[in-house]
Amino acid sequence: MTTSTEGAAAKSVSAAGPVDAHVGGRIRLRRTLLGMSQEKLADALGLTFQQVQKYERGTNRVGASRLYDLARVLDVPIGFFFDDMREDTSAASAPVFPVSTGFAETQSAFGGPPPKAVASPKLFDLPPDEASLFTKRETVDLVRSYYRIPDSSMRKRMLDLIRSMSSTSETL
């Protein structure tokens, strides 16, 4: 029989957390960038659109095989779902396992534990409030429309016009 404390600990390990919310946000970002509805993504995966909603909100965890299917359908590498994840997000949700002394000797026989992964450079180094702009449908529609302008000089003039109308015009 398990005590209520053990049951609560087991539940917290399996419950969706910050990493799941990040992965869900990346699923939604890619889906909207492709102009795909939740229904179309669900059909491609053999799911209901409600399940896709739960994945995107981070309410439900995405298993390894489902993540593989999502990467295939959304045409991205699996690592895409973890891009731009803050270091403290992944550390906060990592379960803590007891250390086994026998494993340490085994690791040293193979040259020790693997080195820490080097953080990949971020495409955008934006504050969270600005980074969230790239997940909005309005932003996606604006970017799509912009790149559908066939004349590159017209696109440049549109960019100049938008910059001149914004209160915080930045030059690139």
The pLDDT tens digits of the residues spanning 2-49 come to 444 444 444 445 567 889 999 999 999 889 888 899 999 999 999 999
CATH number of the domain within which 48 lies: 1.10.260.40
d(Cα 70, Cα 85) in Å, to the nearest integer? 18
- What pLDDT digit, counting tens, does each position of 50-101 carry? 999 999 999 999 999 999 999 999 999 998 888 877 766 555 555 555 555 5
Contact 22, 50 (CB under 8 A): no
Q: Which residues make Cβ contacts (< 8 Å) with residue 118, sequence separation at least 6?
A: none
118 within domain boundaries: no
pTM: 0.55
161 within domain boundaries: yes
Take residue 68 and report the two structure tokens written for it.
């593989």
The alpha-helical segments, DSSP class H, found in the chain are 4-14, 18-33, 38-45, 49-57, 64-74, 87-93, 101-109, 128-131, 137-147, 152-165
* Phi, psi at 49, each rounded to 5°: -65, -25
pLDDT at site 123: 45
Q: Print the domain residue range for 21.
A: 15-90
41 within domain boundaries: yes
Take residue 38 and report the two structure tokens written for it.
């939740």
53 three-state secondary structure? helix
Contact 66, 45 (CB under 8 A): yes
Q: Which residues make Cβ contacts (< 8 Å) with residue 34, sequence separation at least 6?
A: 74, 75
Structural domain ending residue among the three candidates 24, 57, 90:
90
Q: Which residues make Cβ contacts (< 8 Å) with residue 18, sequence separation at least 6?
A: 58, 89, 92, 93
Structural domain ending residue among the three candidates 56, 90, 124:
90
8 within domain boundaries: no
3 within domain boundaries: no
* Phi, psi at 114, each rounded to 5°: -65, 150
147 within domain boundaries: yes
Domains: count for the chain: 2
19 within domain boundaries: yes
Contact 19, 85 (CB under 8 A): yes
57 within domain boundaries: yes
